[in-house]
Structure 1
Amino acid sequence: MARSIAITSVVVVFAILLIVSPHVADALTCGQVTSSISQCLSYAKTGTGMPPSACCSGVKSLNSLAKTSADRQTACKCLKTIAGSVSGLKPAAIAGIPTKCGVSVPFPISTSTDCTK
């Protein structure tokens, strides 16, 4: 009987820990990055005016998704891959998108950015 109570207590404690512990979010993927910034590509080619509102929404979404260092490194690497695969992008236009969208990032937006830091 005592053993049954002990086992039940362990199961209850384990269940409580599962319920109250923070859930680990899935890691950011390149698909999420691409989806978030897809509406920015036309602006990144022209650099004129303001980025479309859908672009800014995507940039804000990506910024909120990339909370951990690992997520920010993934986003950086994916953005560099995208920038290298799309011709006609203007580096100055790309670098200005976060500011024009009201998003503060603590590093320069550039293809020369070291994603490991």
Structure 2
Amino acid sequence: MKGVITVVVVLAMVQLMVESGRAISCGQVDASLAPCVPYLTGGSSLAPKCCNGVKDIKGMASSTADKRAACNCVKAAANRYPSLKEDVAEALPTKCGVQMDIPISRTTNCDK
């Protein structure tokens, strides 16, 4: 019984270490920003789901490494849409009422 408890404790500790070290993926960022694409390309009005996605990204990016990863993902996503309106993209967090350290731009230097 003592051995089983030790194994359970060790597994729980390993799980906590893995969870805290998980980085943001571009898939997560893309999924969060997908509802924003029509707005950012000038095709529709701002959808509530878009602002929820912006808030999700802010929540996912808590550490400097997470912010840098999210920034690079946002930059890559912006570059996939040639019709992206740069001024609209840069204003998106403010429009959604979110204070964000990650600008939505094709030209952002994510290392700063």
TM-score, normalised by the number of residues in structure 2: 0.78
- Per-residue deviation at 1:103? 0.5
2:34 matched to which residue of 1? 38
Once the two structures are TM-superposed, the CA of residue 91 in structure 1 deviates from its matched residue by 0.2
The equivalent residue for 1:4 is: none
Please report how far the alpha carbon of residue 18 of structure 1 lies from its aligned counterpart in structure 2 after TM superposition.
2.9
- The residue aligned with 1:83 is 78
**Compared with structure 1, are the counterparts of its residues 47 and 94 closer, same or farther at alpha carbon in structure 2 (3 Å cutoff)?**
farther
Report what 1:110 is aligned to. 105
- Decide whether the 8 Å contact of 2:24 with 2:69 is kept in 1: yes
The question of whether the paired residues in 2 share the 8 Å contact of 1:47 and 1:90 is answered with no
1:92 is matched with 87
Q: 1:58 aligns with which of 44, 53, 59?
A: 53
Q: Which blocks of at least 5 consecutive residues in structure 1 are unaligned?
A: 1-7
Question: RMSD over aligned Cα, in angstroms?
Answer: 2.7
The equivalent of 1:5 in structure 2 is none
Once the two structures are TM-superposed, the CA of residue 100 in structure 1 deviates from its matched residue by 0.7
How many Å apart are 1:107 and its aligned residue?
5.6
Deviation for aligned residue 1:110: 2.5
Q: Which runs of 4+ in 1 moved over 4 A?
A: none
Shift of the 48–92 alpha-carbon distance from structure 1 to 2, 3 Å rule, reads farther
Shift of 1:47: 7.6
